């Protein structure tokens, strides 16, 4: 890579480290106005809000720049082992607040801008969050890279710079309508494109055998087409520690050769089309969650970013002449689910075809470079690529996968002689289906981890039992975590202040210190302050929802929140049945409206655009909300709010306002959940099943401070084995029957009795996730919630204990676990 004339500087200043601008209000103002003038090309008097936001972002960026350069210089000099986090998704959330926090500039910036007559809140609101992920998996990646930077661990996050992130959700007559997310349209001040460091990625074609100079048979891949991967670097600042790691997202562009060839043939229009074709690869994030889409473009995306990332690390991060036999000493690639697993045959291809490694040498290196994290339990969510598709797009990789499988199956037969059926079950390539990516990841990875204790156990016992029998030591657990910087310190400033005043500010990087707050749960003064902050957070979200969605939130309600992707297994429909059941009881006079405890239920959820049942559930929630909110009978008692387009930005305002956190998936279905952790840390109580990380939350906070309901995972398995018949619950339970019948009566659908047949009939006759079986237990737990909430002192005590006892769920702790159990490296100081 050509580094230009700076490689041989003659001016003394050329090698001096860049100093950050001074940490003073005056210094800040000067820098800000300079950016406004020189980058935006406007004077303050004529600047738009966007100009001001862009200038503020570049100002903060400038403060981080010296640290970024210094971090990179240290890495270059010390050559520490790096974590290459490979993830198809990063759900970053807004960058400005985090950058201000990491540089300790929040106050200075606020004061400086005030001197310029600017309210910093207006500029914060101008930022469009990069929504380059679907849900938990993408947000987890963002939390992890934040923690690694804060813990001074060298890490490069690799991913895709989608031109369109997760769709913007709107509601039209209660139905979800997707709009493109044009997050780049007003400029993107946080990214640094490096077209000069672009990487070529090949696709298609065929392979050829030939005899090399050493007389050995070798394979040459003759690809049919290629694209360029252009890296865009993003800063990942550690919290007040001077470290700035890099997130490198790849954008696809047509290669010149491709263009020129067609252009020279005289077909200008075709040349332009070729460009569009190439750029399609990083055009849009696939909005499916939980079920993979077997689309060719998706496989192209996966190979694209992984090929770019390996090339980038091998060619640009290792010194000339580095012996690739030692690669595992310099990097571990963490596979965030199976999306990047094509990296395994890609590394084999590089080592064998490009660096002349023998098979065994190449496998030895490759199998020490990767580790795999699984994020699901749903069988249909496990990626399988049809062999014909793989062979067409990546013929050399398919050959290598067959070879990996042959070697692997030989090992299985050796370990279990005569057990052909087992070998058949374990084959990476399933005849009829294709390449099972989770199997490939398990075979290649040094470690395989689930994301909560229960999930890791089920992964061993149910998803990959043959593999855990063969390699028990390969399997481990790392319970997920969330970054306390974004999800407490930034999102809950008043609570952070109270914590700081009580125990100091060490908790921001050592979250277990929240334990020191436990005694304050019994301190009336502290409890009052805590309750006041909860109320303040409720007002804050009420103001936001009024401005954003025209939603009015009543005062003094229990705020009951269910925010997460819409999926049947998460059971938004169970929450809905509870609401409709309350309404039915009031309508039919079984209870008086005055007996209903004042409660606002807030939903936030996107459905995959192709997931009909999920979209119908959204439609139904909106219709139920419209009906109940408009009915004077429950005025002031029950309110349902469903703000559109739930995203990280909204989560940051909503979660701190919650009293009750809904974590009600069918046991054995939610791998971990991470929203559950954010709520507990912000002092909400959980109503939840014994699923995912709920199990660990309940253990830590104690049964008295958690509303457990529903079947346990073994009970679910047993009921499933017996043959589950939802209709029998409908027939046997009059309240459940009345509830479902009310939906079918047309009260929520202008008299149309069949509008919601899809949802209702499914619950009555299929109900794969057993909502009806858990209905009674859920309603009983909700009654306990009401009873407890009526005693505000006792509720606040529990809320404080939830916060004080869940410091374990910091992503810093998750990263420590990965370092010890998987990466075997210690932070570089």
Query: Contact at 8 Å (CB) between 194 and 2?
Result: no
Determine, following the binding rule CB under 6 A, whether residue 677 of this chain makes contact with ligand F58: no
Alpha-carbon distance of 152 to 80, in angstroms, equals 11
> What does 157-220 look like in DSSP terms, one character per residue?
EEEE--SB-SPEEEEETTEEEEE---TTTT--TTEEE-GGG-EEEEE--EEEEEE-TTS-EEEE
Catalytic, out of 248, 575, 639, 678: 678
- Given the complex with ligand F58, which of 140 and 545 has the nearer CB atom? 140
Using the minimum distance from each CB to ligand F58, give the nearer residue, 139 or 397: 139
How do beta strands 475-477 and 558-563 pair?
unpaired
The yes or no reply on residue 749 touching ligand F58 (CB under 6 A) is: no
Chain positions 598 to 657 lying near ligand F58, rule: CB under 6 A, are: none
Residue (477 or 573) nearer to ligand F58, CB: 477
Question: Is residue 143 near ligand F58 by the rule CB under 6 A?
Answer: no
Helix (H) / strand (E) element for 260: namely helix 256-264
Contacting ligand F58 (CB under 6 A), which of 93, 131, 136, 238?
136
Smallest distance from the beta carbon of 645 to ligand F58, in angstroms? 17
515 given a catalytic annotation:
no
- Minimum CB–partner distance for residue 705 and ligand F58 (Å): 22
- What is the length of the chain? 829
Residue nearest to ligand F58 (CB): 136
> Closer to ligand F58 at the Cβ: 140 or 155?
140
The window from 28-36, 664-672, 713-721, 756-764 that contacts ligand F58 (CB under 6 A) reads: 664-672
Tell me how far, at minimum, the Cβ of 91 lies from ligand F58, in Å.
Answer: 9
Q: d(Cα 427, Cα 466) in Å, to the nearest integer? A: 11
Question: Among residues 298, 534, 570, 571, which one is catalytic?
Answer: 570
**Under rule CB under 6 A, residue 674 binds ligand F58:** yes
The site string for ligand F58 over 287-326 (x = CB under 6 A, - otherwise) reads -xxx-x----------------------------------
Q: Which CB sits closer to ligand F58, 480 or 581?
A: 480
Minimum gap (Å) between residue 164 Cβ and ligand F58: 16
Q: Which is nearer to ligand F58, 112 or 133 (CB)?
A: 133
Min dist. Cβ of residue 453 to ligand F58 (A): 13
Distance CA 144, CA 814 (A): 8
Task: Write the binding mask 790 to 809 for ligand F58: x where contact by CB under 6 A, - elsewhere.
Answer: --------------------
CB closer to ligand F58, 221 vs 611: 611
- Within 13 Å and on the Cβ side, how many CA atoms surround 244? 20
Nearer to ligand F58, 476 or 674 (CB): 674
Distance CA 715, CA 730 (A): 20
Q: Is 23 a catalytic residue?
A: no
Nearer residue to ligand F58 within complex by CB, 366 or 572? 572
Q: Does 683 bind ligand F58 (CB under 6 A)?
A: no
Q: Which one from 82, 674, 689, 806 is the annotated catalytic residue?
A: 674
- Specify which residues 227 forms β-bridges with: 201, 254
Q: Catalytic: which of 61, 248, 349, 375?
A: 375
CA distances 626 to 368, 395, 587, 752, Å, are 56, 54, 16, 15
Residue 674 is a catalytic residue: yes
For every residue of 69-112, DSSP letters joined together read HHHHHHHHHH---EEEEE-S-EE---SHHHHHHHTT-HHHHHHH
In the set 35, 127, 670, 690, which binds ligand F58 (CB under 6 A)? 670
In the complex, the smallest distance separating the C-beta of residue 791 from ligand F58, rounded to whole angstroms, is 32
* CA-CA-CA-CA torsion sign (363, 366, 371, 376): negative
Choose, from 397, 489, 538, 565, the residue flagged as catalytic. Answer: 565
> Among residues 57, 109, 113, 140, which is the contact residue for ligand F58, using CB under 6 A?
140
How many whole angstroms from its chain centre is CA 344?
23
Q: In what helix (H) or strand (E) does residue 131 lie, and over which residues does it extend?
A: strand 131-132
CB of 88 vs ligand F58, minimal distance in Å: 7
Backbone angles phi, psi at 242, to 5 degrees: 80, -5
Q: Which of 99, 137, 342, 640 binds ligand F58 (CB under 6 A)?
A: 137
Per CB under 6 A, 671 contacts ligand F58 = yes
Q: Could you say which of 47, 82, 103, 134 contacts ligand F58 (CB under 6 A)?
A: 134
The span of 26-34, 641-649, 669-677, 805-813 binding ligand F58 (CB under 6 A) equals 669-677
Report how far residue 156's alpha carbon sits from residue 346's, in angstroms, rounded to the nearest whole number. 19
Handedness of CA 370, 376, 379, 381 (dihedral sign): negative
Which of 436, 564, 639, 788 is catalytic? The answer is 564
Contact between 194 and 251 under an 8 Å Cβ cutoff? The reply is no
Least distance CB 303 / ligand F58 (angstroms)? 16
The sign of the CA dihedral 686, 690, 693, 699 is positive
Shortest Å distance, C-beta 378 to ligand F58: 9
Which residues neighbour 384 within 8 Å (Cβ) at sequence distance 6 or greater? Answer: 294, 430, 433, 434, 435, 436, 437
How many Cα atoms sit within 13 Å of 666 on the Cβ side? Answer: 22
Footprint of ligand F58 on 476-495 (CB under 6 A)? 480
* Window contacting ligand F58 (CB under 6 A); options: 136-144, 182-190, 652-660, 799-807: 136-144
**Cβ nearer to ligand F58, comparing 459 with 545:** 459
Binding residue for ligand F58, selected from 395, 673, 688, 710, defined by CB under 6 A = 673
Site map 358..387 versus ligand F58, x via CB under 6 A: -----------------xx----x------
Sign of CA dihedral 107, 108, 109, 110: positive
248 burial type by CB count under 10 A (0-12 exposed, 13-18 middle, 19+ buried): buried
Q: Largest alpha-carbon pair distance within the chain?
A: 90
Closest approach of ligand F58 to the CB of residue 753, in Å: 35
Strands (E), 610-671: 638-641, 660-663
582 neighbors 624 (Cβ within 8 angstroms): no
Helix/strand number for the chain, H first, E second: 33, 25
Q: CB of residue 28 vs ligand F58: minimum separation in angstroms?
A: 37
Handedness of CA 134, 137, 143, 148 (dihedral sign): negative
Continuous segment of H or E residues that includes residue 616: helix 612-630
For residue 317, the Cα-to-chain-centroid distance in whole angstroms is: 27
Q: Under rule CB under 6 A, which residues in 690-729 are in contact with ligand F58?
A: 692
Q: Which two tokens stand for residue 413?
A: 């037969």
Q: How far is the CB of 611 from ligand F58 (least distance, A)?
A: 12
Verify whether residue 295 is a known catalytic residue: no
Residue 428 within binding range of ligand F58, rule CB under 6 A: no
Cβ neighbors of 697 (< 8 A, separation 6 or more) are 676, 677, 680, 686, 688, 706, 806, 809
Query: Using an 8 Å Cβ cutoff, are 347 and 366 in contact?
Result: yes
Give 673 or 726: the residue with its C-beta nearer to ligand F58: 673
Closer to ligand F58 at the Cβ: 529 or 676?
676
Contact letters for ligand F58, residues 446-465 (x by CB under 6 A): -----x--------------
How many residues sit in the footprint of ligand F58 (CB under 6 A)? 20
Q: Site mask, ligand F58, residues 264-293, x = CB under 6 A?
A: ------------------------xxx-x-
Contact assessment for residue 480 and residue 672, using Cβ atoms and an 8 Å cutoff:
yes
DSSP structural state of residue 571: T
Active site residues: 375, 564-565, 570, 674, 678
Which residues form the interface with ligand F58 (CB under 6 A)? 134-137, 140, 288-290, 292, 375-376, 381, 451, 480, 670-674, 692
């Amino acid at each position: 890579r050509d580094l230009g004339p700076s490689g041989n500087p003659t001016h003394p200043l050329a090698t001096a480290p860049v100093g950050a601008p001074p940490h003073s209000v005056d210094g800040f103002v000067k820098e800000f106005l300079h950016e406004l003038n020189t980058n935006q090309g406007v004077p303050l008097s004529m600047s738009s809000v966007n100009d001001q936001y862009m200038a503020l972002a570049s100002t903060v960026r400038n403060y981080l720049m010296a640290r970024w350069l210094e971090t990179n210089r240290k890495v270059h000099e010390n050559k520490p082992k790096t974590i290459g986090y490979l993830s198809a998704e990063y759900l970053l959330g807004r960058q400005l607040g985090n950058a201000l926090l990491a540089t300790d500039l929040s106050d200075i910036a606020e004061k400086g801008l005030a001197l310029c007559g600017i309210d910093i809140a207006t500029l914060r609101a101008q930022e469009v969050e990069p929504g380059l992920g679907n849900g938990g998996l993408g947000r987890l990646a963002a939390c992890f890279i934040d923690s690694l930077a804060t813990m001074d661990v060298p890490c490069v996050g690799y991913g895709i710079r989608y031109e369109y992130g997760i769709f913007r959700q709107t509601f039209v007559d209660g139905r979800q309508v997707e709009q493109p997310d044009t997050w780049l349209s007003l400029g993107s001040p946080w990214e640094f494109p490096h077209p000069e460091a672009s990487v070529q990625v090949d696709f298609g074609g065929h392979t050829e055998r030939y005899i090399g100079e050493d007389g050995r048979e070798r394979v040459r891949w003759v690809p049919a087409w290629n694209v360029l991967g252009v890296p865009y670097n993003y800063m990942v600042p550690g919290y007040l520690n001077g470290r700035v790691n890099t997130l490198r997202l790849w954008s696809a562009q047509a290669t010149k050769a491709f263009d020129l060839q067609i252009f020279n043939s005289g077909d200008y229009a075709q040349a332009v089309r070729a460009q569009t074709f190439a750029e399609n690869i990083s055009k849009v994030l696939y909005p499916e969650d939980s079920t993979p889409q077997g689309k060719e473009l998706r496989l192209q995306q996966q190979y694209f970013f992984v090929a770019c990332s390996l090339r980038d690390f091998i060619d640009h991060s290792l010194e000339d002449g580095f012996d690739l036999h030692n690669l595992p000493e310099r990097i571990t690639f963490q596979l965030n689910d199976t999306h990047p697993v094509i990296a395994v045959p890609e590394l084999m291809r590089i080592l064998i075809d490009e660096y002349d490694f023998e098979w065994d040498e190449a496998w030895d290196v490759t199998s020490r470079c990767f580790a795999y994290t699984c994020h699901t339990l749903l069988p249909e969510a496990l990626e399988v690529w049809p062999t014909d598709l793989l062979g067409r797009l990546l013929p050399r990789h398919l050959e290598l996968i067959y070879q990996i499988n042959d070697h692997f199956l030989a090992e299985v037969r050796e370990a279990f002689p005569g057990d052909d059926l087992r070998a058949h079950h374990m084959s990476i390539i399933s005849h009829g289906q294709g390449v099972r990516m989770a199997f490939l990841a398990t075979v290649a990875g040094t470690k395989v981890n689930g994301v909560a204790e229960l999930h890791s156990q089920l992964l061993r016992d149910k998803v990959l039992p043959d593999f855990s029998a063969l390699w028990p030591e390969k399997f481990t657990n790392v319970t997920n975590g969330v970054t306390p910087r974004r999800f407490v310190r930034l999102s809950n400033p008043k609570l952070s202040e109270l914590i700081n005043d009580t125990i100091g500010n060490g908790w921001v990087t050592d979250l277990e210190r929240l334990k020191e707050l436990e005694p304050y749960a019994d301190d009336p003064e502290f409890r009052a302050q805590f309750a006041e902050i909860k109320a303040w957070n409720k007002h804050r979200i009420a103001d936001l929802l009024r401005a954003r969605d025209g939603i009015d939130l009543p005062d003094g309600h229990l705020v009951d929140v269910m925010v997460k992707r819409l999926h049947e297994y998460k059971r938004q429909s169970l929450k809905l049945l509870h609401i409709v059941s309350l309404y039915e009881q009031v309508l039919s006079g079984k209870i008086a409206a005055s007996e209903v405890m004042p409660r606002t239920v807030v939903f936030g959820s996107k459905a995959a655009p192709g997931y009909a049942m999920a979209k119908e559930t959204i439609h139904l929630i909106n219709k139920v909300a419209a009906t109940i909110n408009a009915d004077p009978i429950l005025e002031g008692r029950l309110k349902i709010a469903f703000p559109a387009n739930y995203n990280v930005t909204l989560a940051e305002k909503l979660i701190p306002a919650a009293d009750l956190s809904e974590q009600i998936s069918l046991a054995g279905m939610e791998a971990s959940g991470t929203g559950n952790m954010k709520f507990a840390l912000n002092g909400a109580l959980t109503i939840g099943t014994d699923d995912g990380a709920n199990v660990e939350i309940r253990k830590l906070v104690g049964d008295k401070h958690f509303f457990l309901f529903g079947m346990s995972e073994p009970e679910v398995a047993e009921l499933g084995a017996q043959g589950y018949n939802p209709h029998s619950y409908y027939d046997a339970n009059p309240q459940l029957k009345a509830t479902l019948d009310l939906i079918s009566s047309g009260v929520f659908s202008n008299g149309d009795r069949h509008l919601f047949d899809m949802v209702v009939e499914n619950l009555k006759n299929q109900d794969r996730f057993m909502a009806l079986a858990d209905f009674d237990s859920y309603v009983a737990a909700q009654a306990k919630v009401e009873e407890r909430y009526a005693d505000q002192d006792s509720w606040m005590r529990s809320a404080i204990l939830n916060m004080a006892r869940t410091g374990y769920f910091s992503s810093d702790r998750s990263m420590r676990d990965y370092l010890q159990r998987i990466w075997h490296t210690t932070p570089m100081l």
